[in-house]
Amino acid sequence: MTKNIFNYLLIGLFLVGFSACTEDETTRSVITNVPITIASVDPDVTIEEQETVITVNFTMGDDQIVDTKVKIAVDPLTTTATEGLDFDLLTTEVSIDAYGRTGSFDVQLHGDYLPEGTEIASFVVSGINDPFGANNTQEFKITITDFVDPDKLILTFDWEGLGFYQGVGYSLCENVDLDIYVLDPDGNDLGIYDGATGACPEIIIIDPTWPDGTYTFASNMWENGFAGLMSDNDFPITVSIDKAGVYNAAFKPTDIWTSEDLDQANDGNTDFKAAITVIKEGTNYKVYQPDGTLIIEG
């Protein structure tokens, strides 16, 4: 009888141990082999270029029973827009709690002044195995179209190029700071400093809110990175004149800054070199060279 009781105890312990092991292995198997999926993402959108943030929603599948993470990345193969210029991806990773069903990410779009044609920003939504991630991907696409405003005149002043010192070329945009001032017919500074920002190129937009009148756009050299080097470089400006959907033209003033000229930041040189003159009448603009020659009108 004692032996039988002992045998029963051994059998019982074996069954308990087997049962515990089986349950543990089953649970582990279910967790590690769960087929997490990203079920859907918002439909693709088409939008005119502008300063705005687009929030994109996505949905996880019903089989999402553990904490997981989702990665968002720009698709370089299908993206034609320029990241950092036309758009910025503000969200690159999203955490989803167990049994969570939804998430979202943000994309910042940037307004542009000039027509560039239709561009595309594409994004891939995928799982991150940390330790469990979705085993599929979804894609979302933003089609960015031009915003055309024919009532504005867009003036771009660009001096990009190379200046040379001891045979080595250096970017003029990075080493020379030209500012564009807006002057009245008597040469007085009107205090409009949209083109005196430190950027290259400088962009000034004339819109219907500007009073009708005559405006001269003139450059001043704020800082000359080639000063004192005797490098004999010229800093020519190209002025692009654009009225969206109406006309575009370009002009290069002959009165230009050089590496031997004094600048304002270090030498106090407040001289101006006229680039163009614009006569505004409503939304009609007449653009002239400094010598009075008409460049374009409309």
More confident residue, 243 or 113: 243
H or E, element range at 142: strand 137-145
Per residue in 165-199, pLDDT (tens digit) is 999 999 999 999 999 999 999 999 999 999 999 99
Q: Left (φ > 0), alpha (ψ -120 to 50) or beta: where does 245 sit?
A: left
More confident residue, 293 or 7: 293
CA atoms within 13 A on the CB side of 201: 17
- pLDDT value of residue 141: 98
Per residue in 115-170, pLDDT (tens digit) is 788 999 999 999 998 888 999 999 999 999 988 788 999 999 999 999 999 999 99
Provide the total of helices (H) and of strands (E) in the chain, helices listed first.
Answer: 3, 22
Rounded to whole angstroms, the Cα distance separating 173 from 201 reads 8
Rounded to whole angstroms, the Cα distance separating 269 from 267 reads 6
Structure tokens at 146: 């031009």
Structure tokens at 10: 């051994």
Per residue in 3-61, pLDDT (tens digit) is 444 444 344 444 444 344 443 333 333 455 668 999 999 999 999 999 999 999 999 99
Do the beta carbons of residue 84 and residue 63 sit within 8 Å?
no
216: β partners: 183, 277
- pLDDT value of residue 104: 98
What domains are there in the chain, each with its CATH number? Answer: 38-145 (2.60.40.10), 153-297 (2.60.60)
